[in-house]
Amino acid sequence: KCVDDAWVLDTTTKPYEWSKCNPSGPIPSARTYASASTRSDGLLLLCGGRGADGFALNDAYGLARHRDGRWEWAEAPGKAPTRRYQHATAFVDARLHITGGASGGGQLVSSDASMS
């Protein structure tokens, strides 16, 4: 099942507490098998996945928390990486590195990509 919600785990409370995030901005389409990584400044970048239609996605969205506590989605600018799902992402400094995954129809993605 594809979903388009976002949740936050507060690790400053004991026990830890989950809360639903209700961000403003352009909400990413529902998806499954996406990947997300957090930059050192707290920005979460959601990348790719498989849409409700079963096709691989090649979009990226940033989720930021403002100082006043509001959450906001923004589409990542620039050239999107190859469509893929079931991939891995990791930030190294300010660059998001994307590797592996599938593009659909049993095809594996053999190229790597990075975004900043």
Tokens of 74: 């923004």
Cα 40 from Cα 50, distance rounded (Å): 27
For residue 106, pLDDT beyond 90 = no
Q: What is the mean pLDDT of residues 43-50?
A: 96
Cα 72 from Cα 24, distance rounded (Å): 5
Cα separation values, 9 from 16, 18, 66, 67, Å: 7, 5, 17, 18
Q: What is the mean pLDDT of residues 30-35?
A: 97
pLDDT the model gives residue 8: 94
Under 8 Å between Cβ of 76 and 62: yes
pTM: 0.89
